[in-house]
């Protein structure tokens, strides 16, 4: 009798023989992709290495007029921070300012001026021209020290000056070179990115096999393919989060080693300042049976007539020298956390009880985001397999990538703070709740699925209350079977309906009791008592805030420049003559994610679907999604303001509606028969194929634009992110992508 191993080997060999042609084709494509990516990295991305190979390098060390130290390095100081070379009379392709590696790392701004055959004097920007732009150089990045110049003919005079106020002097310079040789640098990150892009191009090309593999007809291979895609997306999410090491809050001997305790394999540490520890401090208080934070507010705060006036608080703090906690709820002489309590109960409290240490918030954000990706993918798969006949693996992956990349999760991973955690958890619970509901509709074990789904949906109230609007999807999903068909009047239907409602009742009772114990009100979550930049008790609801917010969230065009990562915060102007809470944002979703333009065709597509079905469930689902998205955007603007992380609150609703509309459009494009005579082709049976190809190509372009935008947003410099905390290290990333400079 053959062993288990022998059986496995036998089946693998049989599978290889049966798919030998496909395996060979995949192997050839993979080899070609690797060769192209390797050629790009070696010859294209390193073209400066070849261009500079024939340069005659000139060392200007003997002509530098700066004070030298005992280490033979020149000193640039606050008084003497420029160097000038005259009568060079040579063609200069580049300069290399060799800053000493051993000095403290920093990013320096250089102002370079020169005279050449077109300019007898140094030139700057004028009303009609731009001078030589300022250039940033990292003292720790060899590539940034090499600066290509574009002079006209030979350079005569050259001046290099340090500019800016935030410079740690003295700055040590070993020497300055002209026409230096660019080093050859094989970047594994750049090579991997090229591999990924080429693989996506190959995989999603219109003739790819993924458009012929339908989810219903090939369930095993399609599910395996989807699982692989989700695993890759989750790995990329994790890699991106850990790249921003200053926000992670975990340390090992090789990662964030400055915070490593020297003993543990992994230890956690606090990041983000005092007010960022709210969840950790609440877990500590809960373990002691208290609902308020342990830290005592200063006496001056307790004595204030209006402690929610930031200007008055700041003045009192200056007079007394006693600091207060920012962005926490203050009520009746105690600090409280107004953010939802569910993340504390899920992550922080168990971790604190087990280890006595604060839970790393970033890991909670990562876990929630990964579970969201898995849940959203499962939900889309459920819709595609059970409600549509012709969804191919290619169409599914295109819309799934659009949803995952455009829903705002990547930005939450960029700033994985306690501000992001409730949003990520709310979305995570929402997609899994909807998935369990969908499974329950077609299952014999409805009660179990309904309890699980409603429990997830109800827990959203303890994470991000405004996302409870997604619970309105219960109406289009359950109205027909339980109300129209009166299943609710049967014993089994009544039991199922109770399973749908009971988790909401339980969670509502617990949250209302929690609110009443803190603030004396069942419905007061404490947001109005927030010690923030404005008096939330007086904020109210103003109609004048709505139009600027909807414009910023939905329709404002992104701001771009010609330097990587190209995106810039958009300007903001308003005629609302009051206080507007606004952080940096990067454009409205309808411009940044053009796949949302599909929504403009919602009416004819839904009319087509309704004409084919006796029910209008999907129409109701799309209406609720769009209504919820707009309503949440308005609520966010009125209650808090216009912030980039709030895009995650509503973007997923619009993208989910687009997914369903794409499925409807794809369903109604007929497939031409595989073999037909020339007469049939002349009569137009090729048109459906062209229509399907047009749909596919259009989706690829629209989704690709959104993916590129999301990727660039991930690396756009912002206050508090890696680019701000470790600018010299971030500069290495810039040099990786700006290979032409």
Give the pLDDT confidence score for residue 37 in this predicted structure: 96
The half-sphere exposure of 521 on its side-chain side, counting CA atoms within 13 A, is 9
pLDDT, tens digit (0-9, with 9 covering 90-100), for 143-173: 899 999 999 999 999 999 999 888 999 999 9
Is there a single domain that holds both residue 511 and residue 659?
yes
Residue 190 in any domain: the answer is no
pTM: 0.91
Q: Quote the number of domains for the chain.
A: 4
pLDDT, tens digit (0-9, with 9 covering 90-100), for 438-464: 999 888 889 999 999 999 999 999 999
Is there a single domain that holds both residue 479 and residue 586?
yes
Is there a single domain that holds both residue 273 and residue 225?
no
| pLDDT > 90? residue 465 | yes
Residue 195 in any domain: the answer is no
Sequence-separated (6 or more) residues with CB below 8 Å from residue 117: 152, 153, 154
Domain boundary among 307, 325, 359: 359
Residue 199 in any domain: the answer is no
Sequence-separated (6 or more) residues with CB below 8 Å from residue 595: 402, 406, 655, 658, 699, 702, 703, 706
In order, the DSSP letters of 566-618 are -EEPPP------S---B------HHHH-GGGGGGGGHHHHHHHHHHH-S--HH
The half-sphere exposure of 20 on its side-chain side, counting CA atoms within 13 A, is 4
- Assign 374 a pLDDT band (cuts: 50, 70, 90): very high
Give the pLDDT confidence score for residue 267 in this predicted structure: 87
Q: Which two tokens stand for residue 338?
A: 């107004």
User: To the nearest 5 percent, what fractions of the chain are helix, strand and coil?
Assistant: 55, 10, 35
Give the whole-number percent of the chain exceeding pLDDT 70: 94
Compute the mean pLDDT over every residue in the chain, rounded to the nearest whole number: 90
Give the pLDDT confidence score for residue 681 in this predicted structure: 39
**CA nearest 96: which of 137, 152, 132, 66?**
137
Three-state secondary structure string covering 515-554? HHHHHCCCCCCCHHHEECCCEHHHCCCCHHHHHHHHHHHH
Give the pLDDT confidence score for residue 674 in this predicted structure: 43
| pLDDT > 80? residue 13 | no
The single residue listed with the structure tokens 């990041």 is 271
Is there a single domain that holds both residue 381 and residue 352?
no
Q: Is the preceding peptide bond at 170 cis, omega within 30 degrees of 0?
A: yes
- Assign 740 a pLDDT band (cuts: 50, 70, 90): confident
Q: Where would I find the beta strands (DSSP E) of 149-279?
A: 158-163, 171-178, 250-251, 267-268
> What does residue 570 show for φ and ψ, rounded to 5 degrees?
-80, 150
| pLDDT > 50? residue 558 | yes
Give the pLDDT confidence score for residue 596 in this predicted structure: 97
Is there a single domain that holds both residue 503 and residue 453?
yes
Give the pLDDT confidence score for residue 654 in this predicted structure: 98
Q: Left if phi > 0, otherwise alpha if psi is -120 to 50, otherwise beta: which for 172? A: beta
| pLDDT > 90? residue 343 | yes
User: What is the span of the domain harbouring residue 138?
Assistant: 58-184
Residue 738 in any domain: the answer is no
Is there a single domain that holds both residue 345 and residue 403?
no
Give the pLDDT confidence score for residue 652 in this predicted structure: 96
- Rounded Cα distance between 518 and 511, Å, is 11
- Rounded Cα distance between 218 and 296, Å, is 62
- Higher local confidence (pLDDT), 671 or 679: 671
Residue 191 in any domain: the answer is no
Residue 691 in any domain: the answer is yes
Give the pLDDT confidence score for residue 15 in this predicted structure: 60
Is there a single domain that holds both residue 39 and residue 88?
no
Domain boundary among 321, 341, 359: 359
Mean pLDDT calculated for residue range 387-395: 93
| pLDDT > 60? residue 560 | yes
C-alpha dist (Å) from residue 97 to 129, 137, 369: 26, 9, 43
**CA nearest 93: which of 21, 153, 134?**
153
Give the pLDDT confidence score for residue 17 in this predicted structure: 65
Domain boundary among 359, 388, 414: 359
- Rounded Cα distance between 270 and 120, Å, is 57
Is there a single domain that holds both residue 561 and residue 412?
yes
Task: Name beta bridge partners: 137.
Answer: 108
Give the pLDDT confidence score for residue 604 in this predicted structure: 92
Strands 171-178 and 107-114: unpaired
Residue 194 in any domain: the answer is no
Mean pLDDT calculated for residue range 302-321: 90
Q: Where would I find the beta strands (DSSP E) of 451-508?
A: none
- Rounded Cα distance between 69 and 4, Å, is 73
**CATH number of the domain bearing residue 139:** 2.60.120.260
Q: Which two tokens stand for residue 405?
A: 């990349």
The half-sphere exposure of 279 on its side-chain side, counting CA atoms within 13 A, is 31
Cβ distance 95 to 160 under 8 Å? yes
Helix ranges restricted to H, 356-488: 361-387, 393-406, 409-414, 420-441, 446-459, 474-479
Is there a single domain that holds both residue 538 and residue 681?
yes
Q: In what order do the strands lie in the sheet with 158-163?
A: 82-85, 158-163, 107-114, 135-138
Cβ distance 410 to 237 under 8 Å? yes
| pLDDT > 70? residue 356 | yes
Is there a single domain that holds both residue 488 and residue 581?
yes
- Higher local confidence (pLDDT), 447 or 8: 447
Give the whole-number percent of the chain exceeding pLDDT 90: 69
Residue 575 in any domain: the answer is yes
Is there a single domain that holds both residue 65 and residue 12?
no
127-132-136-137 Cα dihedral, nearest 10 degrees: -170
- Rounded Cα distance between 64 and 647, Å, is 52
- Assign 18 a pLDDT band (cuts: 50, 70, 90): low
pLDDT, tens digit (0-9, with 9 covering 90-100), for 76-115: 999 999 999 999 999 999 999 999 988 999 999 999 999 9
- Higher local confidence (pLDDT), 219 or 681: 219
| pLDDT > 60? residue 741 | yes
Length of the chain equals 741
pLDDT, tens digit (0-9, with 9 covering 90-100), for 681-697: 334 444 455 678 889 99
pLDDT, tens digit (0-9, with 9 covering 90-100), for 478-528: 999 998 888 899 999 999 999 999 999 999 999 999 999 999 898 888 888
Is there a single domain that holds both residue 569 and residue 635?
yes
């Amino acid at each position: 009798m053959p062993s288990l191993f022998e059986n496995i080997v036998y089946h693998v060999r049989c599978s290889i023989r049966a798919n030998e042609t496909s395996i060979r084709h995949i192997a050839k494509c993979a080899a070609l992709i690797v060769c192209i990516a390797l050629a790009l990295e070696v010859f294209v991305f390193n073209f400066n290495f070849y261009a500079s190979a024939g340069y005659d390098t000139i060392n200007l060390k003997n002509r530098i007029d700066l004070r030298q130290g005992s280490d033979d390095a020149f000193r640039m100081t606050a008084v003497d921070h420029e160097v000038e070379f005259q009568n060079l009379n040579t063609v200069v392709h580049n300069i290399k300012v060799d800053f000493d590696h051993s000095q403290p790392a920093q990013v320096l701004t250089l102002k370079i001026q020169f005279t050449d055959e077109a300019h007898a004097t140094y030139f700057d920007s004028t009303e009609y021209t731009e001078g030589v732009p300022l250039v940033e150089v990292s003292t720790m990045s060899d590539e940034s020290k090499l600066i290509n110049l574009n002079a006209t003919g030979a350079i005569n005079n050259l001046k290099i000056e340090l500019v800016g106020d935030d410079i740690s002097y003295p700055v040590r310079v070993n020497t300055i070179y002209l026409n230096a040789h660019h080093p050859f640098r094989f970047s594994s990150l750049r090579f991997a990115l090229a591999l990924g892009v080429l693989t996506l191009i190959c995989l999603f090309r219109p003739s790819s096999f993924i458009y012929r593999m339908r989810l219903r007809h090939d369930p095993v291979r399609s599910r395996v393919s989807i699982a692989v895609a989700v695993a890759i997306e989750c790995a990329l999410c994790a890699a991106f989060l850990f790249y921003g090491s200053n926000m992670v809050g975990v340390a090992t001997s090789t990662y964030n080693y400055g915070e490593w305790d020297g003993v543990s394999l992994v230890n956690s540490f606090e990041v983000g300042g005092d007010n960022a520890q709210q969840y950790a401090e609440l877990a500590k208080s809960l373990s002691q049976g208290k609902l308020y934070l342990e830290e005592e507010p200063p006496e001056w705060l307790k004595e204030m007539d209006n402690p929610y006036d930031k200007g008055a608080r700041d003045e009192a703090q200056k007079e007394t020298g006693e600091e207060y906690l920012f962005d926490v709820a203050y009520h009746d002489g105690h600090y409280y956390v107004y953010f939802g309590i569910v993340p504390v109960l899920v992550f922080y409290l168990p971790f604190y009880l087990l280890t006595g240490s604060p839970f790393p918030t970033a890991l909670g954000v990562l876990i929630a985001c990964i579970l969201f990706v898995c849940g959203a993918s499962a939900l889309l798969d459920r819709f595609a397999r059970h409600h549509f006949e012709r969804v191919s693996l290619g169409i599914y992956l295109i819309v799934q990538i659009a949803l995952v990349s455009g829903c705002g999760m990547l930005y939450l991973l960029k700033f994985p703070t306690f501000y992001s955690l409730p949003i990520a958890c709310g979305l995570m619970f929402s997609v899994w709740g909807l998935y369990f509901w969908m499974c329950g509709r077609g299952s014999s074990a409805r009660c179990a699925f309904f309890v699980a789904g409603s429990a997830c949906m109800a827990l959203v109230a303890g994470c991000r209350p405004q996302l409870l609007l997604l619970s309105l999807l219960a109406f289009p999903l359950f109205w027909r079977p339980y109300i129209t068909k009166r299943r609710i009047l049967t014993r089994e239907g009544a039991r199922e309906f109770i399973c749908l409602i009971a988790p909401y009742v339980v969670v509502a009772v617990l949250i209302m009791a929690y609110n009443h114990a803190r603030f004396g009100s069942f419905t007061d979550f404490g947001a109005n008592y927030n010690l923030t930049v404005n008096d939330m008790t007086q904020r109210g609801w103003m109609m004048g805030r709505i139009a600027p917010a909807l414009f910023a969230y939905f329709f404002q065009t992104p701001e771009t420049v010609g330097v990587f990562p190209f995106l810039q915060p958009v300007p903001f102007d308003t005629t609302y003559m009051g206080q507007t809470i606004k952080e940096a944002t990067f454009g409205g979703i309808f411009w940044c994610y053009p796949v949302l333009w599909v929504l403009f065709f919602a009416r004819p597509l839904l009319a087509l679907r309704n004409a084919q079905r006796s029910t209008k469930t999907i129409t109701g689902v799309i209406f609720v999604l769009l209504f919820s998205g707009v309503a949440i955007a308005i609520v966010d603007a009125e209650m808090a303001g216009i912030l980039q992380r709030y895009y995650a609150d509503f973007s997923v609703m619009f993208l989910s509606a687009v997914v369903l509309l794409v499925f409807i459009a794809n369903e109604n494009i007929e497939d031409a028969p595989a073999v037909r005579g020339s007469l049939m082709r002349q009569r137009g049976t090729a048109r459906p194929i062209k229509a399907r190809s047009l749909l596919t190509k259009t989706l690829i372009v629209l989704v690709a634009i959104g993916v590129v935008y999301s990727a660039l947003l991930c690396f756009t410099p912002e206050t508090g992110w890696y680019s701000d905390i470790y600018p010299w290290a971030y500069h290495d990333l810039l040099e990786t992508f700006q290979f032409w400079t």
